[in-house]
Amino acid sequence: MKFAIDILIERKEGVADPEGNTIKDALRRLGYDSVESVRTSKMFSVVVEVNSPAEAKQIAEEIAQKVLANPVIENFKIFNIEEAG
Amino acid sequence: MKFAIDILIERKEGVADPEGNTIKDALRRLGYDSVESVRTSKMFSVVVEVNSPAEAKQIAEEIAQKVLANPVIENFKIFNIEEAG
């Protein structure tokens, strides 16, 4: 069975986000004065061919931990495990 | 009041995702043969100081449309509008 999984990789609290800060500054210059902060993160939508949602989740966790996230500065969240196709 | 809003910017269907493909190939080389596809997208967590959730949503939509997304190749989704701090 195919399962689609979303993996969100975000910076840990306190880790600087220069891209987010640049976007915040740009938005303010454009007149969006109500914008107080912008934090960026990365989403990976992965489709895996496995036998169960539990297996899909396990692979997603491994991938997130070993490949996608830098554990020193990033956290990951796994959600939306759904049968696909 | 402060509201936190999540804005997801994703490629439209059919638009190539070279970064996702590179990650998929890397995962397969590492032995994750069950991985069929990887699509990447970008999440922006924005905090705005406004008077209502409706106003927060309106600003988020404007920002997404005019600044964050490239409407030729990208869609945006707005979700998780929550009072913050």
Question: pLDDT at position A85, please?
Answer: 73
Q: Where are the domains of chain B?
A: 2-15+41-83
Question: pLDDT at position A3, please?
Answer: 96
Interface of A with B (CB under 8 A): 2, 8, 10, 20, 23, 26-27, 30, 32, 34-50, 59, 62-63, 66-68
Q: Which helix (H) or strand (E) holds A63?
A: helix A53-63
Q: What is the ipTM of this complex?
A: 0.90
pLDDT band at B83 (very low <50, low <70, confident <90, very high): very high
List Cβ neighbours of A3 (8 Å cut-off, separation of 6 or more).
A47, A48, A50, A53, A56, A81, A82, A83, A84
pLDDT tens digits, residue range A3-53?
Answer: 999 999 999 999 999 999 999 999 999 999 999 999 999 999 999 999 999
Which tokens sit at A16? 């600087």
pLDDT tens digits, residue range B18-66?
Answer: 999 999 999 999 999 999 999 999 999 999 999 999 999 999 999 999 9
Across the interface, do B45 and A39 touch by the CB < 8 Å criterion? yes
Question: pLDDT at position B80, please?
Answer: 83
d(CA A65, CA A47): 17
Residues of A in contact with B10 (CB under 8 A): 43, 45
Backbone angles phi, psi at A27, to 5 degrees: -60, -40
Across the interface, do B43 and A8 touch by the CB < 8 Å criterion? yes
pLDDT tens digits, residue range B16-25?
Answer: 999 999 999 9
From first CA to last CA, the distance across chain A in angstroms is 9
- Choosing among 3.30.70.20, 3.40.190.10, 3.30.1280.10, 3.30.70.260, the CATH entry for B2-15+41-83 is 3.30.1280.10
Residues of A in contact with B66 (CB under 8 A): 30
Classify residue B22 by its DSSP letter. H
- Choosing among 3.30.420.40, 3.40.50.10580, 3.40.50.720, 3.30.1280.10, the CATH entry for A2-83 is 3.30.1280.10
Judged against a pLDDT cut of 90, whether residue B85 lies above it is answered with no
d(CA B65, CA B7): 11
**Interval B8-22 mean pLDDT:** 96
Question: Looking at chain B, which residue has its C-alpha nearest residue A56?
Answer: B34
Which tokens sit at B34? 């069950």
pLDDT band at A68 (very low <50, low <70, confident <90, very high): very high
Residues of A in contact with B46 (CB under 8 A): 35, 37-38
